[in-house]
Amino acid sequence: MKKIRSTRIQDASVRRLPFQKKIGAGLTPAEFKAKVEEGTIRHVGFAESVAMIASALGWKLDKIEEKVEPKIAEETVASDYVKVEPGQVAGVDQYAWGISGGEQLITLNLQAYLGCRDPRESIVIEGHPPIDLTIKGGIHGDVATSAVVVNCIARVTNARPGLTTMKDLPVPSAWFGHLGQLIKKA
């Protein structure tokens, strides 16, 4: 494996209000910039995800860089919570890079904004064999987060004491197969 690139493009209009606020929907570009500088607009854990991927692969990175930019609405877009006029911020375009030897080995990109017409998740792995996978329509972030939590219950309850990360746990799978184990422990 030589490089990994992941792109997540989400239609934020179907997400909850706190998420829409977190990505800056409805702000002016100046307000967005100020909130990025405060650290209140960004996908938390992006740089940490790059570090975890590198660690899981045994890659040593020289540095991790991040960039957070606004997605500016070109037309009026709205959700059940926010109306965004042209020139206002519709959402976020965030990157994180894992760099080694001056080369970007890991690239993560999140674009979450109101008015997204082509949501999708994609991952490209340069290696043997090369992998280029796209999930059209994307994965709803709230549903995905809930699924990971539920599907990790048995693995977390069976983990050794101490700090455990996703890279330390067996890969999550359908939770229902572990329901009996949980009931026996209760």
* pLDDT score of 184 more than 70: no
* pLDDT score of 15 more than 70: yes
Would you kindly state where each structural domain of the chain is located, as residue ranges?
3-138, 140-178
Confidence of residue 58 (pLDDT cuts 50, 70, 90): very high
Q: Residue 185's pLDDT is what?
A: 54
Least confident of 12-21, 135-144, 166-175, 177-186: 177-186
Distance CA 131, CA 125 (A): 5
The one-letter amino acid at 185: K
Asked if residues 99 and 65 have their Cβ atoms less than 8 Å apart, the reply is: yes
Q: Which of 176, 153, 9 is nearest to 92 (CA)?
A: 9
Q: In Å, how far are 60, 141, 170 from 144, measured between CA atoms?
A: 29, 5, 17
* pLDDT score of 120 more than 80: yes
* pLDDT score of 37 more than 90: yes
